[in-house]
Amino acid sequence: MKITKVVFGIVIVVIVIAAIAGYYLLQPPKEKEEEKPPVEEESLLIMGTTDSVESCLDPARAYDFFGWEIIQSLGSGLVEYRPGATGAPGDIVPALATSWSVSEDGKVWTFNLRQGVKFDDGTEFNATHVKYTFDRGISIADEDGPFVGIGYGDIIENVTVVSKYVVKFHLKIPFSAFLSLLACQASYIVDPKYAPFDAVVEYKEGDPRGSHPMGLGPYVLTKWERVAGKDTEMRLEANPNYWNATGGYPKTKTIIIKFYADSAGLALAIDAGEIDIAFRQLSATDINNLKTKTHLKVWEGTGAFIQYLVLQTKRPPFDNPKIRQAVAAAINRTAIVETVFLGQVQKLYSMIPVGMFGYKNAFLKLGDPNYALTRELLSQLGYNENNKLSFKLWYETSGHYPQSPQLAQMLKSSLEASGVISVELEGRDWAAYRVSRRNEEMDAYILGWYPDYIDPDDYIYPFLHSSGGSWLHHNYGNPWMDQLIEWARGNTTQSARENLYGQIQDLMVDDCPIIPIYQGSAWAVTKQDVKGIYLDITQSWRHWLVYREK
């Protein structure tokens, strides 16, 4: 009997234990909280550049490479490009949105938002912030900003909040590049606490947090110094509230950015070990020289940067398309590529970069160069060796673009080799150059372009459409060009879009308001122990992935 009781007791205990174990085994597994990898308290990298913030760090207004570089570190969008992107559709991955869907007509996009994300001040991110960002951006858009240059108001009808974590975009057209557009820095979400609805956030001396409206990015801005309107130093610190987007938490706690007056000073600084990274702009000679340094590593990446010559179409001499074509025919791209850039760039005969769908070497039909065509076209208008076409060619002098003075000099030599053109050079630092462009003082001027989003629309609409191209102040407008561009950006069939971009580029050669010159590569130089560099088709610099190898 005692044995029976004992056995019975043991059976009961076993049953209870089994029941308890079964209960826990049947429960759905809890999501493991993602642990933040330890960030070394003293980890620090110093980056050098000749670049600077063009205007501000507000996504609604900033429209320059370096401004977007910093915005990308301080903020985030609904989606983003994965590191190493090539331009393939699968390169766009979730960020603040975890998933999305689109209606059959391509005009309604629904996004499910990530939960538990906080701004750097602890405010929880939700759908109202998405609506506020785009409503605000379209409301305060001006000709110098991306919301006009890209044409957000021509694409987005409205944004509606479905629930706390669901938002809908209603489009005016079935815009084929919409996801790409949402991945660009102009689409980064702002914090209403720091982003007034009716005003742009400008630089505030001594107040780095009040100098930008983001707060969802891997870094916070703790220092931004300017002297006489020129950037001198910035400091980025890892954001303790960061939510771990693609690529993970910041691998380096502190990034210091130092600004140099020219490429020579930047090259000396990286060679001497004063900085860990040199990025934008190093001369071709410096790059070749630094390749020989065993203590340094030179990184080369995909080139989607282009440079081009803009002609003022509203007044003589460039109000005549024949004169614009004559100038295009006299450009010697081979000399520019080999002499100025030592073969580190490639000739470009289209506004759409080589390698991107829609590319067509349309400008090649005007020659490279074809001085006979230049003389023929100008002779019809009374120009010859004794009565030359004369104009001033403008270029920037402050390192915003690579080797601008040398490029301008080579363009002058190339054009004057025709025997019927005379060119005077005029240089301005970047701040003054922008003012001269806005005031329409320049008849012929060199500009460059880094992609906003990876689609041919981004190399066409902001330059050739009468609305999107207003920021250029070249006063070009052609109703047929506008129609072709609108059809191309609203069509979702790639074959149809390629056909339309072919027509657009042919018409561009006929009208010639802008002349493509070359397509560049992306270059960076670092100490040997610096890793995590991605120079992909987006041209984006991802500060949070860069680290010093131990």
pTM confidence score: 0.87
Residue 502 has pLDDT above 50, yes or no: yes
Task: Classify burial at 366, counting beta carbons within 10 Å of its beta carbon; exposed 0-12, middle 13-18, buried 19 or more.
Answer: buried
The CA-atom distances, in angstroms, between 196 and each of 110, 200, 202, 394 are 26, 7, 11, 37
CB 416 within 8 Å of CB 409: no
DSSP 337: I
Q: Could you tell me how far CA 359 lies from the centroid of its own chain?
A: 19
Query: HSE on the CB side for 120, CA within 13 Å?
Result: 25
pLDDT above 70 covers what percent of the chain?
92
DSSP 452: S
Could you report the per-residue pLDDT of 2-16, keeping only the tens digit for each?
Answer: 333 443 443 343 333
Q: Which of 44, 126, 32, 18 is nearest to 548 (CA)?
A: 44
| Alpha carbon distance 405, 393 (integer Å) | 11
Which range among 46-50, 76-80, 138-142 shows the weakest confidence by mean pLDDT? 138-142
* Residue with token string 């049953």: 15
* pLDDT value, residue 245: 61
Residue 24 has pLDDT above 70, yes or no: no
What's the chain's length in residues? Answer: 550
* pLDDT value, residue 246: 59
Q: What pairing do the DSSP bridges indicate for beta strands 522-527 and 296-301?
A: antiparallel
Q: Domains in the chain, start-ordered, CATH in brackets?
A: 75-187 (3.40.190.10), 306-519 (3.10.105.10)
What residues contact 33, with CB distance under 8 A and at least 6 apart? none
Please give the average per-residue pLDDT across 502-527, as a whole number. Answer: 97
* pLDDT value, residue 143: 80
* pLDDT value, residue 468: 87
Structure tokens at 370: 């074809």
* 317 prior amide bond cis, ω within 30: yes
Could you report the per-residue pLDDT of 278-335, keeping only the tens digit for each?
Answer: 999 999 999 999 999 999 999 999 889 999 999 999 999 999 999 999 999 999 999 9
Q: How many CB atoms lie within 10 A of CB 23?
A: 9
Q: How confident is the model at residue 248 (pLDDT cuts 50, 70, 90)?
A: confident
Could you report the per-residue pLDDT of 178-206, keeping only the tens digit for each?
Answer: 999 999 999 999 999 999 999 999 999 99
Q: Which of 183, 163, 162, 181 is nearest to 171 (CA)?
A: 181
DSSP 111-127: EEEPSS-B-TTSPBP-H
* pLDDT value, residue 87: 85
* pLDDT value, residue 142: 86
Q: How confident is the model at residue 173 (pLDDT cuts 50, 70, 90)?
A: very high
Residue 88 has pLDDT above 90, yes or no: no
Mean per-residue pLDDT over the chain, rounded: 91
| Alpha carbon distance 360, 358 (integer Å) | 6
Residue 27 has pLDDT above 80, yes or no: no
Residue 139 has pLDDT above 70, yes or no: yes
| Alpha carbon distance 524, 352 (integer Å) | 24
* pLDDT value, residue 313: 98
Q: Strand pairing partners for 220?
A: 237
Structure tokens at 515: 């002349």
* pLDDT value, residue 15: 39
Could you report the per-residue pLDDT of 51-80, keeping only the tens digit for each?
Answer: 999 989 999 999 999 999 999 999 999 999
Residue 505 has pLDDT above 70, yes or no: yes
| Alpha carbon distance 82, 104 (integer Å) | 27
Q: How confident is the model at residue 41 (pLDDT cuts 50, 70, 90)?
A: low
Ramachandran region of residue 399, left (φ > 0), alpha (ψ -120 to 50) or beta? left
| Spatial strand order in the sheet of 346-347 | 346-347, 514-519, 306-311, 444-449, 389-396, 421-428
* pLDDT value, residue 243: 86
Could you report the per-residue pLDDT of 197-232, keeping only the tens digit for each?
Answer: 999 999 999 999 999 999 999 999 999 999 988 899
* pLDDT value, residue 481: 98
Q: What pairing do the DSSP bridges indicate for beta strands 530-531 and 547-548?
A: antiparallel
Residue 95 has pLDDT above 60, yes or no: yes
* 281 prior amide bond cis, ω within 30: yes
